Amino acid sequence: MNHLLGLCDRIKKAELRSYLTRNYVFNEISFLLSCWQNKQQRYSKHLDIIKVWHSMCIISNMLRTSR
C-alpha cells in the first residue's frame, strides 16, 4: 500500500505528456486502492495479484515514457 502511495507522489512530480495520460495512470491507481480498501468486495488472492501486476506494469511504463 505504501508502495502505491509512493508511486502516486512520483507520478505527480513527473511531467507526463498529456492530461489524458495522467488521468489514466491515476485511474489505475485509484482502482487498485479501492480494490484493497473495500472489504465488502471479496476478490480472490490470485485475481488481486494479477490486477496489481498488470497495473504496476502500466504505471511503470507510463513513468518510463514520461521522462
Give me the tens of pLDDT residue by residue for the chain, a chain 67 residues long.
Answer: 566 666 666 666 655 556 566 677 777 777 777 766 665 555 555 566 666 777 777 777 777 765 5
Residues 39 and 58: their CA atoms lie apart, in Å, by 25
Using left for φ > 0, alpha for ψ between -120 and 50, and beta otherwise, residue 35 falls in alpha
The per-residue pLDDT for 7 is 65
The per-residue pLDDT for 26 is 73
Angle 39-41-45 from CA coordinates, rounded to 5°:
90
Find the length of the chain.
67
Rounded to a whole number of angstroms, the distance between the first and last alpha carbons of the chain is: 24
Residues 27 and 44: their CA atoms lie apart, in Å, by 21
